[in-house]
Structure 1
Amino acid sequence: MLYLASQSPRRRELLAQIGEAPHVLDVEVEEIRQAGEAPDAYVARVALDKARAGYAMVSHENGIRVIGADTEVVLGDEVFGKPRDATDAALMLRRLSGREHRVVSAVWLIDGKSERHALSVSIVRFSALDVAQIDDYVASGECFGKAGAYAIQGRAAAFIEHLSGSYSGVMGLPLHETSRLLRSQ
């Protein structure tokens, strides 16, 4: 039985895309970057914390597997989480405008015998955005609840000049890596 330690509808949809129908667990994990923690290490740690919190919630009978994942937008050494409000979202989008950034997505699988993980790093380049584009996008509300204040699978697809890496990883769950973890024993 597969559990997903996330309330993200995107992650559920992505798992369904590869034929998985997980039971959803509502986990509460503090997402605060520690002093000196590298962005990739931070994302991997938060995903592991989610998987462990989820695993602690279920019975530990044979065949139980729990997935935890985290995705963050990284510009230089700065991690862009979810925007706090419209002002924060607009600021993030202005900073990403016309620039290249990384999207780091970590996934952990815990099955009682082991804890295994994979990390996906994608490079995304935004076209230059004008004030009206940013204001319209923020007003749409799509930016909220999304790392870096954008959803590649939505209206923000028009902002993407170039993507190198995993489209599903940018959405929130790298399917290639997740599928490999699910097939591994």
Structure 2
Amino acid sequence: MASERDLPRVILASASSRRHELLSHILSNFEVQTADIDETPKSDELPAALVGRLAKSKALAIWHKNPDAIVIGADTIVTLGHEIFGKPKSQNDSIAILKKLSEKRHTVMTGVAIISASKNLSKVVKTEVEFACLSTKQIQNYWQTGEPQDKAGSYAIQGIGGKFVKQITGSYSNVVGLPLVETQLMLAEMGIHE
């Protein structure tokens, strides 16, 4: 059995406490470094292409500084058709986003990229989420909790925002920010088993 120091360094290229917590369910030892990249969508860039590109860009930015490590990058977006919802810019923006998602099925996509000196793996995982009918008052009250302010799509399924979710099809952890089954399979392909 390999000792801990024989295992490669693994770095999560994310500032998200939710991703950190999720990754700790499948890996006991990893570092966290934040990748500072431009997350602006390119013109006519489709949601899946955007989220895949951002995950790779985050992983590469950290891997270039740590070429001996295995780096995991991830990015999550909420989409309705081809419309992409990032983090809300204001209370009015949050209201507009959640009004659009009210009583509709939307897609949450997380791009995951894992990069090492010898391998480069990436995947985009999609989960369908259906919302109940939301009133303006409910949305305003939700904003006051502080929860939606730094969340893609202006809600957190693992928090208070979970009460808006009528149905989910696919990976729950993907909606939180890191698809666990797929990430674990990719790490196994990189030779990391726990």
Structure 1: which 5+ runs fail to align?
none
Q: How does 1:7-18 map to 2 (within 5 A)?
A: 7-18=15-26
Given candidates 117, 120, 136, the residue that maps to 2:122 is 117
In 2, Cα distance between equivalents of 1:70 and 1:81: 11
Given candidates 11, 15, 30, the residue that maps to 1:22 is 30
In 2, Cα distance between equivalents of 1:25 and 1:35: 29
Task: Identify the residue that residue 179 of structure 2 maps to in structure 1.
Answer: 174
Given candidates 123, 145, 153, the residue that maps to 1:148 is 153
In 2, Cα distance between equivalents of 1:85 and 1:21: 37
1:3 maps onto 2:8 in alignment: no
Task: Identify the residue that residue 91 of structure 1 maps to in structure 2.
Answer: 96
- Give the direction of change, closer, same or farther, for the CA distance of 1:119–1:20 in structure 2 (3 Å limit): farther
Structure 2: which 5+ runs fail to align?
1-8
With structure 2 as the length reference, what TM-score do the two structures score?
0.91
Quote the offset at 1:122 in angstroms.
Answer: 0.4
Larger radius of gyration: 2
Letter in 2 for 1:48: K
In 2, Cα distance between equivalents of 1:136 and 1:120: 31
Aligned with 1:17: secondary structure? Answer: coil
Quote the offset at 1:114 in angstroms.
Answer: 1.5
In 1, Cα distance between equivalents of 2:74 and 2:165: 23
In 2, Cα distance between equivalents of 1:23 and 1:171: 20
In 2, Cα distance between equivalents of 1:172 and 1:21: 19
Letter in 1 for 2:161: A
Please identify runs of 4+ aligned residues in structure 1 that moved more than 4 A.
none
Q: Deviations over 1:150-185 (max 9, x none)?
A: 000000111000000111000011111100010003
Calculate the aligned-residue CA RMSD, in Å.
Answer: 0.9
In 1, Cα distance between equivalents of 2:134 and 2:185: 37
In 2, Cα distance between equivalents of 1:21 and 1:93: 37
In 1, Cα distance between equivalents of 2:172 and 2:84: 19
Q: Deviations over 1:41-79 (max 9, x none)?
A: 010001100000011122x23xx2000000000011011
Task: Identify the residue that residue 71 of structure 1 maps to in structure 2.
Answer: 76
Task: Identify the residue that residue 127 of structure 1 maps to in structure 2.
Answer: 132
Task: Identify the residue that residue 41 of structure 1 maps to in structure 2.
Answer: 49
- Work out the number of aligned pairs and report it: 182
Aligned with 2:52: secondary structure? Answer: helix
In 1, Cα distance between equivalents of 2:71 and 2:163: 34
